[in-house]
A and B are shown apart, each in its own frame.
Chain A
Amino acid sequence: NAGVTQTPKFQVLKTGQSMTLQCAQDMNHNSMYWYRQDPGMGLRLIYYSASEGTTDKGEVPNGYNVSRLNKREFSLRLESAAPSQTSVYFCASSQYYSNQPQHFGDGTRLSIL
């Protein structure tokens, strides 16, 4: 049982390059999320999708776009990468978007030079 799968695990980009982070879950969850984790700041929500067909901004959405491709897949796109976007990115899913434990993938470590 894979749970939440993120690809790639590591990536190095140059400033200005674009990239899409992929996330898929096999738990038939309705809601999916993208977070970034920076030292000393915990996890901050970038975007979320409460259900298939909907997406909404989280706490730190600037510089990112998302696509809920279907119920299983939720991708995060950096259109023009900046060094401030160097971080560890986590995708998560939950059955519903309120008062539910979220299940996380193992993260994508992204460095932007």
Chain B
Amino acid sequence: DQQVKQNSPSLSVQEGRISILNCDYTNSMFDYFLWYKKYPAEGPTFLISISSIKDKNEDGRFTVFLNKSAKHLSLHIVPSQPGDSAVYFCAASPLLLSFGAGTTVTVRA
């Protein structure tokens, strides 16, 4: 049973606007959360992480929000750029990583 779920398989957003990607988890033992970005024919690349002692972490255009009571994680990309078109995976761990199925983001010019 998947412990990390990304319920939106795809997202289309206009260049310059905000992209919001969502992720839900079921295991209350998860205490470290990550987002990865993946281009076709390449491996996933680490984007940003957050530990359970925080509720927000920001790195340039990327911000991750954690709502522990709702077991919900989101990634905000502002502003969205064409190079952000990729598949985004969320992952969570107490020790080993569990991955969601991914959300394909398309940024329209």
Interface residues of A (CB under 8 A from B): 4, 40-45, 48, 58, 90, 92, 97-99, 101-107
A56 to B99, CA, bound (A): 18
A47 to B32, CA, bound (A): 20
Whether B46 lies near A106 (C-beta < 8 A) is no
Q: Mark B24-53, 1 if CB is under 8 A from A, else 0.
A: 000000011010100001111110010100
Kindly provide the distance from the CB of B32 to the nearest chain A CB, expressed in whole angstroms.
Answer: 4
- Report which of B6, B46, B89, B93 forms a contact with A99, defined as CB distance below 8 A: B93
Interface assignment of B18: CB less than 8 Å from any CB of chain A? no
Name the A residues within 8 Å of B46 (CB-CB): 101-103
Known contacts: A99-B32, A99-B51, A101-B49. The answer to whether A43 contacts B44 by CB under 8 A is yes
B-side binding surface: helix, strand, loop or mixed?
loop
- Report which of A41, A58, A97, A106 forms a contact with B43, defined as CB distance below 8 A: A106
Interface residues on B, range: 20 to 34
Whether A43 lies near B99 (C-beta < 8 A) is yes
Count the A-B residue pairs with Cβ separation under 8 angstroms: how many? 53
Whether A99 lies near B43 (C-beta < 8 A) is no
Whether A45 lies near B96 (C-beta < 8 A) is yes
Whether B43 lies near A90 (C-beta < 8 A) is yes
Whether B32 lies near A42 (C-beta < 8 A) is no
A92 to B34, CA, bound (A): 15
A99 to B20, CA, bound (A): 24
Minimal Cβ-Cβ distance residue in A for B34: A101
Minimal Cβ-Cβ distance residue in A for B45: A104
Kindly provide the distance from the CB of A101 to the nearest chain B CB, expressed in whole angstroms.
Answer: 4
Minimal Cβ-Cβ distance residue in B for A94: B97
